[in-house]
């Protein structure tokens, strides 16, 4: 599952109606209520505040609210988009300012779906993984070689430059063989497993 890194916002205009999608990271019911209230304060006097959210390690809890739009034309289309993006602990509030042109049920469904899609394109996500970290210690003259060998196959947790260079890394495919050719020139220690956050 993917987790939202930070609050993200995007606006689209369809037939003179403004649709402002705001994504919030959430952990509990209180976060949901606070986030909806935040959206209402930031965009007062809107016509609708449509919501959809997903929570839980396996996205086991989900809900949506049409906020006065015809049933299943607003909240559910947004929720459906979120579900297809394999995200969790996330809330979307879609604020609508009515522009005077009725969109009809099909038009509303497409508009709320599009609003959710557009804000998701802008959002940044991370993964939570339970993984082993490794500490590698080596001399300065090996920095370029090490970084070339590791390339995109690791996530760097920490880099220290003291009398020697020390990196804390996570192998994304648990493939330590990347360093086989130079293992006689470096020191490698496995650190205890822990939950890590890896940017996507």
Window from 29-33, 92-96, 146-150 with minimum mean pLDDT = 146-150
Do 56 and 86 fall within a single domain? Answer: yes
Count of the separate structural domains present in the chain = 2
Mean pLDDT of 171-177: 76
User: For a pLDDT cut of 70, what percent of the chain falls above it?
Assistant: 100
For position 123, what pLDDT does the model report?
A: 97
Residue closest to 48 by CA, chosen among 23, 20, 29, 7: 20
Could you tell me the pTM of the whole model?
Answer: 0.77
Helix (H) or strand (E) holding 36, with range, is helix 29-42
Domain boundary among 93, 123, 153: 123
Do 183 and 118 fall within a single domain? Answer: no
For position 172, what pLDDT does the model report?
A: 75
Do 138 and 116 fall within a single domain? Answer: no
Do 77 and 92 fall within a single domain? Answer: yes
Do 192 and 106 fall within a single domain? Answer: no
What would the pLDDT profile of 91-102 be if each residue is shown by its tens digit?
A: 999 999 999 999
Do 26 and 118 fall within a single domain? Answer: yes
Do 188 and 109 fall within a single domain? Answer: no
Q: What is the rounded distance in angstroms from the CA atom of residue 92 to the CA atom of residue 158?
A: 33
Do 159 and 105 fall within a single domain? Answer: no
Domain boundary among 123, 146, 171: 123
Q: What is the rounded distance in angstroms from the CA atom of residue 137 to the CA atom of residue 5?
A: 31
For position 48, what pLDDT does the model report?
A: 97
Domain boundary among 91, 123, 155: 123
**Do the Cβ atoms of 50 and 40 come closer than 8 Å?**
no
Collapsing DSSP to helix, strand or coil, 44 comes out as: coil
Q: What is the rounded distance in angstroms from the CA atom of residue 145 to the CA atom of residue 180?
A: 12
Mean pLDDT of 174-192: 85
Mean pLDDT of 105-119: 97
Instruction: Give the domain range for residue 6.
Output: 2-123
The DSSP string of 66-102 is -TTSSTTSSHHHHHHHHHHTTEESEEEEEEEE--S--
Q: What is the rounded distance in angstroms from the CA atom of residue 110 to the CA atom of residue 114?
A: 6
The DSSP string of 110-137 is HHHHHHHHHHHHH--EEEEEEEEEEEEE
Do 22 and 116 fall within a single domain? Answer: yes
Do 158 and 85 fall within a single domain? Answer: no
Do 85 and 133 fall within a single domain? Answer: no
pLDDT band at 13 (very low <50, low <70, confident <90, very high): very high
5 has pLDDT over 90: yes
Mean pLDDT of 7-34: 97
Do 95 and 19 fall within a single domain? Answer: yes
For position 132, what pLDDT does the model report?
A: 80
What would the pLDDT profile of 64-84 be if each residue is shown by its tens digit?
A: 999 999 999 999 999 999 999
Residue 104, domain CATH: 3.30.230.30
């Amino acid at each position: 599952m993917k987790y939202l890194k930070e609050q993200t916002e995007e606006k689209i205009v369809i037939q003179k109606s403004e649709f402002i999608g705001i994504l919030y990271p959430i952990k509990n019911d209180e976060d949901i209520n606070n986030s909806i209230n935040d959206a209402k304060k930031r965009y007062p006097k809107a016509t609708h505040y449509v919501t959809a959210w997903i929570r839980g390690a396996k996205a086991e809890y989900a809900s949506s609210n049409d906020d006065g739009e015809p049933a299943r034309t607003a909240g559910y289309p947004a929720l459906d988009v979120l579900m297809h993006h394999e995200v969790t602990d996330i809330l979307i509030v879609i604020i609508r300012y009515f522009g005077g042109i009725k969109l009809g049920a099909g038009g509303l469904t497409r508009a709320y779906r599009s609003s959710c899609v557009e804000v998701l394109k802008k959002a940044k996500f991370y993964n939570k993984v339970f993984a082993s970290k490794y500490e590698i210690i080596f001399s300065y003259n090996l920095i370029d070689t090490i970084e070339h060998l590791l390339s995109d196959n690791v996530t760097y947790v920490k880099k220290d430059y003291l009398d020697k260079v020390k990196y804390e890394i996570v192998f994304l495919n648990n493939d330590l063989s990347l360093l086989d050719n130079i293992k006689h020139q470096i020191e490698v220690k496995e650190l205890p497993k822990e939950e890590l956050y890896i940017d996507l």
